[in-house]
Amino acid sequence: MPIGIVCASDEELAPFLTLIQGSKTTERAMLKFYKGHIDGTEVVALFSGVCRVNAAIASQLLIDLFNVDAIINPGAAGGMDPRLKILDTVISTEICYHDLAPDILTEFHPWMKSRFFKADHRLVEYSKAAIRNIKPSGTVVWGRMATGESFISEDGRQRIWDEFAPLTVDMETAGIAHVCYANSIPFISIRCVTDTAQQGGADTFEKNCQKASVAAADITVALLHEIRDRQNKKQ
């Protein structure tokens, strides 16, 4: 079964399109799905559009139409932890919404034990092994990500940090994790930092998005290699 790759934007998807061999395109719900192989691993990749609903639509279609074995979410993010620098990369261990009432997911569908979606533990371990085989552009760390529907202003930054202490924030990751949780599909996110509290703003994001997208793609490809090698050993 293929691995799904969901990026938010065309710029984040672009590094993958040059790598997919034998690509065939399927269109559904105004989205283009590119199916093929990256170094022997079957993948289906697309950009969903920004915001968690778009990301959720894309993820559910990957599951329903292509029967993906797992979903990886590479791309860019805003750095929240003051130790992070631009072009450092965060790999998710758990994900939450920073703008959702805390009981929405625990008292109602999908009746979670907490507000945090866990990344797949095997994919986390595989990602650690994958990092040892490459030279990433910056520091790579593992930890919590938070998702909301807007860019973070200085006024909102402190509240999110106080309540969640996430390493990064973005607009899609929790939406994808939510769909994967409901469908019992392994999930992990790989987000490279484009802007921080010290170096913030839309201009900074735009300036660094292409480099961050390439960095996240490089790590994703290394993870795909690790998944392939582990599967081959089992055969």
How many Cβ atoms from other residues are within 10 Å of residue 230's Cβ?
Answer: 13
Burial 24-43 (b: 16+ CB within 10 A, else e): eeeeeeebebbbbebeebbb
8 Å CB contact between 50 and 9: yes
Exactly one of 12, 120, 172, 218 is catalytic; name it.
Answer: 12
Tell me how far CA of residue 9 lies from CA of 118, 153, 166, in angstroms: 24, 21, 22
Respond yes or no: is residue 195 known to be catalytic: yes
Exactly one of 81, 94, 170, 195 is catalytic; name it.
Answer: 195
Give the pairing of strands 3-7 and 117-118: unpaired
Q: What is the maximal distance between C-alpha atoms in the chain?
A: 53
CA distance linking residue 48 with residue 68, whole number of Å: 16
**Structure token pair of residue 116:** 């945090």
Respond yes or no: is residue 218 known to be catalytic: no
**What's the DSSP call for residue 119?**
P
Catalytic residue list: 12, 195
